Structure 1
């Protein structure tokens, strides 16, 4: 007779099963598995991580406001997920290449995004809001989970070339139910590709709770593919940084793929086209407010005497300045000429593309003179 197995309901209480370094009330606790990966992080670096999270939240708030004011077609909020995105992204090496979903505003911020990069795509001006080569971040991916396959393909190329790079892909808990993510893990394990999978388990795949699609921790799936995994408290920026350093070290040293499940929470809507009050209980949201990643780090830094009101005010002023630049960049954007849609599709001229350009130009000419 098989042993009785009790499923885990992945709610706020389930966080006790995730590795952490900072508790929700801001206390530092020993973690034999993770401590060595952040032993070098000093108070100055912690304040920098805090600043990053504050700036990211302000960018996110501005993005929502711009969409509500009709300046953006859509926005995918990341409030509540700042520690996961900043902690993991700040662990990356400059040469690593990221394959994000549509919610990784914090990742492109950490990789050096400029004010207009956050809004250009959501305003409909470009297919990619940033220069992928400059940031080493692929365009934000709308198709759920597709970026995981792109990352593995790139990582196989890294392995063949012997390059000192790691491919990193981000996706949500909902994407783990997609075939793309599972197929990507099969290929990654089969070819020992240097790729890190980062699942941001924010508890809701639009209106579907994670407990409905995964009765056990998502990180438990990876070992079934032969991929080692870590499950961390995604609202603990130190734990997220440590987990990513572990995963990158594993992948970069030729041991193949690694997997991180960061247990966090989406405080806002899935996108600005969504109304979470229709499906999400208010008391659940309140419970996660007590686990706010920014407040957690603030409490810890204040407790060790490394944060004061003057620094907080300066940080908020910096965040407001970034948001102001982002708004100005958005409102000042000039729509490209229609034929510019063909620019950059291929690295070199292509006869088929030129034919399409000519056909589209002829089509546009039929509207000349119309008001």
Structure 2
């Protein structure tokens, strides 16, 4: 059992100063001045005076096996490590393949996901591939959703990008139908996580599919919607029509110079446009490559996405845009949990999962991270490492 005393608790809604008691993998109590009685002798206590307690962060787009490769085999990015996630406060992650779905596979992805889960965090996966037709583990992606408990949807599938397979509306429509049926049969969301590139038309294709069929916009989770101003304007219309908006937090100066909309600005502008926070999320694209291409399409530079950018973007939204913490925090906690239909994650509530982050406001740093009721990081020191760290 673990007791966190005198923390300023954000559910993400602000709850004031509370004590939080965790037993195993669940939150047992949240109340002021909690008395343990006979339980006191067997309970570890964290004194959290001057710190805020937040739900563990959820990152729905991470290349856990590594990404990249656009500049040749030597530019394949390395797999993520457990502490790359826990030091960033991420306690639940969804892994995906990227441009290179050939030297990396679904088998590799699922094995890495299982490994991270055994090391101490919650891990899910998107099935399929960047290119279409998507390459699922079973013959049909519906079977992946049905028979692989860790698989929650399809992705990342590339649209409007020179690296994509340039799919047609009809091809994407059939994919959406399969994902929807697979989700219904398996009791999962069956979402499709779409990668959006710099070319125009990706979101308009999804809008057309929803107009031509009974498939709702909420069947899709398109990411990188802040990639450039034109795409962002298209994303605002998409959000107003009822679709989810997902902004990528990992970036490099060259992207900003070329017109990428920083996440803090994207969030502020989306909220000003009337998009509810319940449909706006951030994801990091961690371990994905951040390639720079010249006008001929040649890769001229490459950096790697980081999970640490996730919470940093939330803090920038608070500091630079004046957005309240409890609003900005939802982009990496309760909103992705609602999108994925995870009722016991992304919030601090009695009966909910014991995933939490203690943040030192004065020092502006993550102090302690708890996943599955287990302390992973304490006072900035790594308590639990990955097997090969």
User: Of the two structures, which has the highest relative contact order with CA contacts closer than 8 Å and spacing of 6 or more?
Assistant: 1
Q: Calculate the TM-score normalised by the size of structure 1.
A: 0.37
The two structures have a TM-score, normalised by structure 2, of 0.36
The structure that is strand-richer by fraction is: 2
Q: Which has the larger radius of gyration?
A: 1
**Bigger proportion of residues as helix:** 1
